[in-house]
Structure 1
Amino acid sequence: MIVKNINTRKVFFILFFLANLMVFAQDKLTPNDRNYTGIITEEDFRTGYTQDWFIKGFTDYKPNAKVLKKLKKPLKKHSIKVFMGTWCPDSRREVPKLLKILDEVGFKEKNIEIYAMDHSKSTKENYEANLDVHHVPTLIFFDKKGNEVNRFVEFPIKTIEKDILKIVTDQSYKNPYEK
C-alpha cells in the first residue's frame, strides 16, 4: 500500500510539472513555433518548421547578376523592415529571394529587421504600428535618416531584385496596391 501511494505521488508530481511546463511554454513562443509573431532572423528560417520552404526557396533562386551589381552600392544607403507571415505563400516565395539577394550584395544584417506576423497582420509587440501594413510580405525601405523611401508589397511588378533596384535608386515605382 505504501509503494502504491509513493508511485501515485510521483506520477501526480510529474504530471503537475509537465502541465505547468506546457502552460509556461505557450507564453514563450519562439521563432520556430507556428504561431510565433515578432522578430525573426535568417538563422531562424533555416531551423525548425520553416527550414523546408526557406532553404528550397533560397537555394533555388538565381537573381539576375547584372541587377545585383547595380543594386549593391545604392542598397547600402538603406535599412529595411520586412513584415511577413511564415504561414503566407507570398512570404514563403519572396522572403527567401530577398535574403538571397541581400546575402549576394553583402547587405549588413544589422540593417534589416524581419517581423513574423499572424493572420490578422499583427504582432504581439505591435511592431507594425503606424506603418500601414495590410499585405504580406511588405518590405519597407528607409533612408539613413529613418524616412520611408518606398515599399515592396506582396509580389513584384517585374522581379524582386528589379523592383528593389527601382526603390533604392529613387526611380518611379508603385507597388501593386499603390494608387
Structure 2
Amino acid sequence: MNKKVKRLLAVVAASLSLHVLAEGCGFHKEVIEEVAFCHNEYPPVVPTGKITPEKLVAEQEEFRRYYQSYQVDTGTVASLQQLSVPTDIVAIIATWCPDCHRETPRFIRIIDEIDNPNINVTYIAVDRNKKDEEGLAAQFEFSRIPTFIVMQNGLEIGRIVERPTRSLEQDLVEILK
C-alpha cells in the first residue's frame, strides 16, 4: 500500500477513535438507525427492561468489579440516610456501555450504603437503540446513559447524566438538598 493511502487510513482511524471517546455512550441520530458509539465486545443479546441491582452485580463481571472496589464517601451521604421525603430514582442504563459499567455499580453501592427505605430506585436497561421491550425508558427523555432521574412527588427534581459533575455522592446530595 502506498504511503498516502496508509496516511489517509491512519487519519480516518484516529478521527473515529477521537469521535468515539468524545461521544461516550451517546447516540447519533443522523444515520438510518440510532447507533451507540461504544465497545462492541459485549454480547449481542443484552438484557432490557426493569432489572434488579442484584442481577446486574451478579451477572455482569464489570459491574461486580466496580461494585466491590468502590469506596462510598460515607460522610457525604450521611444526610441521605435521614431523608424523610419519599424519593424515586429511575436509572436508565445498559450492560454494553462502558460509562454504565463504571457509574451504575458505584450508584448501586451508594444506595446500598444509604439504606434508606424512602429512596426507591428502578433500574431500566436499554439496548443500543435506547429501547427496552416494555417501553419503560420511552417514558423519559434522555439521550445519554447512564441517566439517573431523581423525582419527588412525581416531579423530576434533578438528574445525573453519563457521569457526575463532582461525584455521584455529592451530585445526589446536591439534588436532594
* TM-score normalised per structure 2: 0.70
1:166 to 153, 157, 174: 174
Q: Distance in 2 between matches of 1:165 and 1:83?
A: 19
Which deviations, in whole Å up to 9, do the C-alpha atoms of 1:57-103 show, x marking residues without a partner? 11111121210212222375311111001000111101111111111
| Residues 84 and 116 in structure 1, CA contact (< 8 A), matched pair in contact too | yes
Aligned pairs for 1:124-163 (under 5 A) are 124-143=133-152, 145-163=153-171
2:170 alignment partner, SS class:
helix
Q: Distance in 1 between matches of 2:80 and 2:119?
A: 18
1:37 to 38, 48, 70: 48
Q: Hey, which of these two has a bigger chunk of strand by percent?
A: 2
Q: Distance in 2 between matches of 1:109 and 1:35?
A: 30
Alignment CA distance shift 1:73-1:123 (3 Å): same
Q: Distance in 2 between matches of 1:41 and 1:73?
A: 24
Q: Distance in 2 between matches of 1:33 and 1:42?
A: 21
| Counterpart residue identity of residue 124, structure 2 | Y
Q: Hey, which of these two has a bigger chunk of helix by percent?
A: 1
Greater than 6 Å deviation, 4+ residue runs? none
Listed as ranges, the gaps of 5+ residues in structure 2 are 1-42
Equivalent pairs counted in the alignment come to 135
Q: Distance in 2 between matches of 1:93 and 1:166?
A: 21
1:121 alignment partner, SS class:
coil
What is the Cα-based RMSD across aligned positions, in Å?
Answer: 2.1
The match for 1:117 is 126
| Residues 34 and 86 in structure 1, CA contact (< 8 A), matched pair in contact too | no
1:47 to 35, 58, 71: 58
Bigger relative contact order (CA 8 A; separation at least 6)? 2
* TM-score normalised per structure 1: 0.69
Which deviations, in whole Å up to 9, do the C-alpha atoms of 1:22-63 show, x marking residues without a partner? xxxxxxxxxx99422101101211333x1x212211111112
Q: Distance in 2 between matches of 1:109 and 1:40?
A: 20
The match for 2:74 is 65
| Counterpart residue identity of residue 141, structure 1 | V
1:88 to 97, 101, 107: 97
Alignment CA distance shift 1:83-1:109 (3 Å): farther
2:63 alignment partner, SS class:
helix
